Amino acid sequence: MIIISKSAKHYLSKLLSKKKKGTNIKLSIENKDKENLTCQIKYFDKKEENFNYTKFNFIDFKVYVKKNIFIYIKKIKIDIESKSLKDEIIIKIFKKRENLKNRISNFIKYKINSKLEYHGGFVELIDIKENMFVILKFFGGCNGCSMAKVTLKEGIEKEIKKNFPNIKGVIDITDHIHSESSFY
């Protein structure tokens, strides 16, 4: 959802009136670090429109936001603030609050498992304990692999702790039995 104040709508309409017909607004949102999103307002030509963008219709213009980032956003508020004889656009982004277990599970699915799949294996999040230890279980080529402990401590645990500073460590509950499908 995008909320634009009356004064901001007027301001943006005035800016767009000086551009060629069909020019709209694009919110260019980037994830600069793990918590903060930055946003720039840019002009957006109708020719650029495609399925990668979510479109929001307003009376005088449209606002486009890339779909792949908008899924993490609850709402965006755009307003105008007057500062010493000049107007400044203020953009506030409210991120969706996903619970920690879902965030870590998605991180494992997309960041960790993409590396483990080269060895025919993957890891799943089983639980997060109250003491902030993540419980994992290895599957496929990782189950029974002689390098599983090293992968766990030097790879997976370091990545999880780097991206989720509240996490204290990682515990493997896999009953590692070496088999033909084990990588090493």
Cα angle, residue 30 at apex, residues 29 and 35 outer, rounded to 5° = 115
25-29, 31-35, 58-62, 130-134, range with the lowest pLDDT: 31-35
- Give the tokens for residue 181: 């499908």
Q: Please name each of the domains of the chain with its CATH number.
A: 2-95 (2.60.300.12), 100-172 (3.30.300.130)
Q: Is the pTM of this model over 0.75?
A: no
pLDDT band for 137, please (50, 70, 90 cuts): confident
Instruction: Give per-residue pLDDT as tens, 42-85.
Output: 999 888 878 788 899 999 999 999 887 776 788 899 999 988 78
Please list, in sequence order, all residues whose beta carbon lies within 8 angstroms of the beta carbon of residue 140, skipping any fewer than 6 positions away.
116, 119, 120, 121, 122, 181
Instruction: Outline where the chain has alpha helix (H).
Output: 6-17, 67-70, 100-107, 113-116, 148-150, 157-163
Flag whether 145 is marked binding: yes
DSSP 8-class letter at 117: G
